[in-house]
Amino acid sequence: MRISFIIFISLLVFSYSSIAQDAVDEAQTLKANLDALKAELSEVESRIDSLNSEDRKIFEQEALELTLAELDNIYQLADLVLKQETEGTEAPELRTYVMELMLKVPKIIAWSFAQNQKDIEVLNAQKDDASSAELGILEEEISILISSVDALYETKFTYLEELEKLGAPDEELAQSVKEDLKLRARLMAGRLKKHTAERNVIKKRLSASAEDPDLALQLGAKQIAVDSHIASLERMIKLMEPLDLPVSSYRTLIVTSTNDLSRGLEVSALAEIANKGWEILIGWTRDRLPQLAFKAIIFFVIVYLFWLISKVIERFVKRAVNAPNLGFSHLLRGMIINLTGNLIVLLGIILALSQMGVSVGPMIAGLGVAGFILGFALQETLGNFAAGLMILFYRPFDEGDMVEAAGVFGKVNRMSLVSTTILTIDNKTLIVPNGKIWGDVICNVTNENIRRVDLVLGVSYDAEIPHVEDIIQTMVNAHPKILKDPAPTIKVHEWGDSSVNFVVRPWVATEDYWEVHWDLTRDLKIKFDEEGIGIPYPQRDVHHYYPTEGGPEKDPV
């Protein structure tokens, strides 16, 4: 047991020493990086004065990048000191080294800031004599420098945070940074307004002369300036918000400059608005919930009572429209019954809403306006609606009728005011717009009580006509579903190519049409076979011709 404890302590000490060694190695690496950056920066600075303007810009930009990298390494060293002290490992020498570096940071930032501001002033001076094509290039370069200045402001902010973490806050510098941020935001906002106004003027001029290439180049350059100042202002807003500095006017300016509402919103602001709205909603619900619950109960009671009343009235209406003397179709009866019930329920809803304090007058007016607008949007549907009304009142067919309309044939299954559902003979459901039905020929097969069955029968020329007529007459008279009045028609119709054709036209009840048609066709064939009456196939005479020496000679076969 004692040995295990000793091993555990040894491992623990080893792990701590390993962690401490890692921190030392990391500090040495950062120090080496800093030394290398300083040496490289010193070399770049020594070359700047001896270079021409174009090369000088390149080296100045490189110097700025090296400076920012140097500052980043200083901040990493500061974080490493904090990390070691948090873990209980004291590093006084490293802390002293870091604090000495931190004291140099403001000077580094000031130098970089001065370099950038000087370059921006030079570029702005060059814009006065620049061509339209050169303006875009200059604005791009200025945009890069503005972004670099913004990065320096962010570095100032980070520097204050690192000082506070190290336990050496600088209140005077913090106040100075606040004032600098406020001034920077005001300047960016003013320049953004100026560039936006100039951009809008160029846009108007360009709309008047769209083919002017010079104006197009000027507009492109000015848009670069607007975008650059918007980006700068947004970065300043992010730095100002944690310091509780006012930024709402700047957000509004960004929205008006971009016409993009989302650029003026932040997730934190939306969350705060949502929380306040939720609190207001909770308070409002707590205060008014009992009253709302009572009104809701009244609303549902009134609607339910009117629903019961609609069912009672529907029964009376159903009895009235089913009166034989009215002669209403099934479709019209169903529409009247449903419309009556729905109107009563709608009246109940309106009354219930008025009891809840809702003003129904404006609501009805709004529904009227909405109906007027929908009337234009749904002209074809309204045409079907009108056709449905015509079908209901003129009654060319009813539910259950077999019809041929709009190119389809089948049984009318159901109908609404905009469409008719037809069930075909092979049990397919077709939904046909009423406008197509009313605008075409409607053939109602089952509208009349009786129909005539039309058959054409052909017999051999050898058959005796009276005997055939007697057979057909006997078969027709024997069928129980063939009507006596009107009397059936049985006549010799024509002399065909191969047969003598008879027409057989008995009258039957409409529902018996196909049964009689099929029975007669079958029974007459069987009876003709029993009586030896032939039903000939089509016949043709074929003649052959054989040529002779004296010429063609006809030799019938």
What does the pLDDT read at residue 479?
A: 92
Q: Average pLDDT for residues 241-270, to the nearest whole number?
A: 71
If asked whether residues 136 and 234 sit together in one domain, one would say yes
Residue 50: pLDDT band (50, 70, 90) is low
Share of the chain above pLDDT 70, in %: 72
Q: Is residue 386 part of a domain?
A: no
What does the pLDDT read at residue 13?
A: 38
If asked whether residues 116 and 209 sit together in one domain, one would say yes
Q: Is residue 90 part of a domain?
A: yes
Q: What's the CA gap between 371 and 375, in Å, rounded?
A: 6
Share of the chain above pLDDT 90, in %: 11
CATH number at residue 319: 1.10.287
CATH number at residue 480: 3.30.70.100
What does the pLDDT read at residue 108?
A: 75
Residue 524: pLDDT band (50, 70, 90) is very high
Q: Average pLDDT for residues 3-15, to the nearest whole number?
A: 39
If asked whether residues 118 and 217 sit together in one domain, one would say yes
Q: What's the CA gap between 457 and 525, in Å, rounded?
A: 9
Q: Are 506 and 488 spatial neighbours (Cβ–Cβ below 8 Å)?
A: yes
If asked whether residues 291 and 350 sit together in one domain, one would say yes
Q: Average pLDDT for residues 124-139, to the nearest whole number?
A: 82
pLDDT digits (tens, 9 = 90+) for 160-219: 777 777 677 778 877 888 888 888 888 888 888 888 888 888 888 877 776 778 888 888
Q: CA distances (Å), 507 to each of 292, 445, 480, 487, 515, in order?
A: 71, 15, 12, 7, 12
Q: Is residue 103 part of a domain?
A: yes
pLDDT digits (tens, 9 = 90+) for 450-478: 999 999 999 988 889 999 999 999 999 99
What does the pLDDT read at residue 18?
A: 45
Q: Is residue 11 part of a domain?
A: no
Last residue of a domain, one of 216, 235, 264: 264
In single-letter form, the type of residue at position 176 comes to S
What does the pLDDT read at residue 212?
A: 77
Q: Are 81 and 94 spatial neighbours (Cβ–Cβ below 8 Å)?
A: yes
Residue 55: pLDDT above 70? no
What does the pLDDT read at residue 236?
A: 86
What does the pLDDT read at residue 9?
A: 39
Cα–Cα nearest to 47, from 68, 37, 32, 62 = 62
Q: Is residue 94 part of a domain?
A: yes
Whether residue 486 has a cis bond before it, omega within 30° of 0: yes
What does the pLDDT read at residue 474?
A: 92
What does the pLDDT read at residue 7?
A: 41
Q: Is residue 555 part of a domain?
A: no
Helices (H) and strands (E) in the chain, counts: 14, 12
Q: Is residue 551 part of a domain?
A: no
In what helix (H) or strand (E) does residue 413 lie, and over which residues does it extend?
strand 408-415
What does the pLDDT read at residue 49?
A: 61
Pairing verdict, β 500-505 and 442-444? unpaired
What does the pLDDT read at residue 418?
A: 83
Burial class (CB within 10 angstroms; exposed 0-12, middle 13-18, buried 19+) of 468:
buried
Q: Is the pLDDT higher at 553 or at 254?
A: 254
What does the pLDDT read at residue 319?
A: 82
HSE toward the beta carbon, residue 159, CA cutoff 13 A? 26
If asked whether residues 457 and 427 sit together in one domain, one would say no
What's the CA dihedral at 261, 267, 270, 276 to 10 degrees? -170
What's the CA dihedral at 201, 204, 207, 212 to 10 degrees? -30
Q: Take residue 304 and report the two structure tokens written for it.
A: 């339910």
Residue 334: pLDDT above 80? no
**The tokens 């303006």 sit on which residue?**
135
- One DSSP character per residue, 348-365 reads HHHHHHHHTT--HHHHHH
Q: Are 459 and 499 spatial neighbours (Cβ–Cβ below 8 Å)?
A: yes
Tell me how far apart the 2 most distant CA atoms of the chain are, in Å.
Answer: 145
HSE toward the beta carbon, residue 142, CA cutoff 13 A? 24
Continuous H helices in 127-166:
132-165
- Alpha-carbon Rg for the chain, nearest whole angstrom, is 50
**The tokens 């009337």 sit on which residue?**
375
If asked whether residues 179 and 223 sit together in one domain, one would say yes
In single-letter form, the type of residue at position 280 comes to I
Last residue of a domain, one of 231, 264, 297: 264
Cα–Cα nearest to 542, from 531, 529, 557 = 557
Q: Is the pLDDT higher at 372 or at 321?
A: 321
| φ, ψ for residue 113, nearest 5 deg | -65, -45
What is the pTM for the complete model shown?
Answer: 0.42
If asked whether residues 236 and 259 sit together in one domain, one would say yes
Residue 294: pLDDT above 90? no
Number of domains in the chain: 4
Q: What's the CA gap between 218 and 138, in Å, rounded?
A: 12
Q: Average pLDDT for residues 360-385, to the nearest whole number?
A: 63
pLDDT digits (tens, 9 = 90+) for 149-174: 888 888 877 777 777 776 777 788 77
If asked whether residues 52 and 82 sit together in one domain, one would say yes
Q: What's the CA gap between 323 and 321, in Å, rounded?
A: 5
What does the pLDDT read at residue 480?
A: 92
8-state DSSP, 482: B
Q: Which of 277-291, 452-466, 502-516 has the lowest mean pLDDT?
A: 277-291
Task: Calculate the average pLDDT of the chain.
Answer: 77
If asked whether residues 312 and 431 sit together in one domain, one would say no
Residue 10: pLDDT band (50, 70, 90) is very low
Cα–Cα nearest to 245, from 310, 306, 302, 174 = 174
If asked whether residues 359 and 214 sit together in one domain, one would say no
What does the pLDDT read at residue 439?
A: 83
Q: How many residues does the chain have?
A: 557
What does the pLDDT read at residue 40?
A: 67
In what helix (H) or strand (E) does residue 27 lie, and over which residues does it extend?
helix 2-48
If asked whether residues 68 and 116 sit together in one domain, one would say yes
Residue 1: pLDDT above 50? no
Q: Are 170 and 163 spatial neighbours (Cβ–Cβ below 8 Å)?
A: yes
Domain that holds residue 412: 394-444
What does the pLDDT read at residue 553?
A: 52
Last residue of a domain, one of 326, 346, 377: 377
If asked whether residues 226 and 368 sit together in one domain, one would say no
Three-state SS at 480: coil
Q: Is residue 119 part of a domain?
A: yes
What does the pLDDT read at residue 351?
A: 82
What does the pLDDT read at residue 232?
A: 86
Residue 5: pLDDT above 50? no
